[in-house]
Amino acid sequence: MDYLTAPIVVAIIAGVLAAAISIVDKIVNNYGEVNISINKGKKILTLNGGDTLLSSLASKEIFIPSACGGRGSCGACKCQVISDVGAYLPTEIPYLDKEEMGKNIRLSCQVKVKSDIDILIPEDLFNVKKFNSRVISIRDVTHDIKELVFDLQGEEITFQAGRYVQLVVPPYDKIKGTTQRAYSMSSKPGDKNVIEVLIRLVPGGIATTWVHTHLKEGMEVELIGPFGDFERSETDAAMVCVAGGSGMAPFKSILYDMFENGDIDREVWYFFGARTTKDVLYLKEMMDLDAKWENFHFIPALSEPEEGSGWTGETGMITDVLDNYLKTKIDTDKAREGYLCGSPGMIAACNKVMTANNIPLDKIYYDNFA
């Protein structure tokens, strides 16, 4: 029986150590019941301490936007903490600037709830819900953009046109762990039972690859939202909207929302940039809207229209087209506001053109997903 001694000794020692670790874990990581006070006592959550702030809040149905699902790799789940929760962790510092640190803004996925804690979050987040939705339609609107419609299965979503939702991508193939990605809603606030989004295939993208190759009609998907502060302002300034590719989504929502609610006195210019005719989506729908709505002007522009495609619209870079219209066509005496949705490069370029044409930077609105 001598040959059994060694394995038994190793097993006993490892077992004793493992037991010691779990006993210490039980004693040391038991923080008892703690209170999370949100927005100076507007809402108080009581739960067991020891978990991260992000998942503690999620367990009570309050969802802070997060793209990586709490792994500390996206830096999205920022949250202002008023009470003392200790010094900044090395994992938080890369995602925060001096100003944010001055306000004690923390990454909620890194901060552990160990004692009573006071936090400030935007009121809108109380409205955020998790929806168990079902995919009812997937449609190609261009060669690389899909339009997806999710049925909320009896639940309702209330939001301002321009907001986004987070799509929860389950683990698939070699991707371990869930991933969350933000997509602007292209459905109108009036349609409370469905959410529509536009998703362009990004080569190598975790979420977009899953949507384009794995997601099928009838499947159940978790959506969390609404998030964001992109919306039309409550002024009568002329709206100068610029979008590229799937950046169409929030404008489709905003424009139909305005048209159907009779908010049609305001002047709206909508510039849509694409490379070829194959990359333009909802061309007919937008042209129809342009024809029915006097103050709405849809300006699609192609940078590389194919020979013989019969393209009669604008050609050239969207920024050049925009610059030209801002200088000559769009009333320069009246107040103008910029609305942007597209790639970070496009947003930066349009910001330049708009500020050069006297649209102040604080009147240019966009979501910063990057």
Partner 1 sequence: MVPDINPVVLLFASVFTSNILLANFLGMCSFISISKDMKSANGLGLAVTVVLTLTAMLNWVILQYVLIPLDLLYLRYIIFIIVIAATVQILEMVIDRVSPALYISLGIFLPLITVNCAILGVALFMQIRNYSFIQTVVFAFGSGLGWWLAIMALAAIQKKLVKAPVPAGLSGPGITLITIGFMAMAFIGFSGMLNVQ
**Rule CB under 8 A: which residues touch partner 1?**
5-6, 9-10, 13-14, 17-18, 20-21, 24-25, 28-29, 86-87, 89-90, 114
Q: Tokens representing 131?
A: 């929806």
Computed on alpha carbons and rounded to an integer, the radius of gyration of the chain in Å comes to 25
Closest approach of partner 1 to the CB of residue 21, in Å: 6
Dist CA 79 CA 54 (whole Å): 9
**Cβ neighbourhood burial of 290 (10 Å; 0-12, 13-18, 19+):** middle
Pick 28 or 370: Cβ nearer partner 1? 28
Closest approach of partner 1 to the CB of residue 360, in Å: 42
Of 157, 59, 167, 43, the residue nearest 108 (C-alpha)? 59
Pick 84 or 306: Cβ nearer partner 1? 84
CB 240 within 8 A of CB 354: yes
Closest approach of partner 1 to the CB of residue 93, in Å: 11
Closest approach of partner 1 to the CB of residue 2, in Å: 9
Pick 113 or 350: Cβ nearer partner 1? 113
CB 79 within 8 A of CB 53: yes
Pick 113 or 301: Cβ nearer partner 1? 113
Residue indicated by tokens 């609107």: 141
Closest approach of partner 1 to the CB of residue 6, in Å: 6
Closest approach of partner 1 to the CB of residue 76, in Å: 23
Pick 71 or 114: Cβ nearer partner 1? 114
| Cβ within 8 Å of residue 85, ≥6 positions away | 106, 111, 112, 114, 117
Pick 86 or 190: Cβ nearer partner 1? 86
Dist CA 254 CA 241 (whole Å): 11
Q: In the beta sheet, which residues pair with residue 112? A: 52
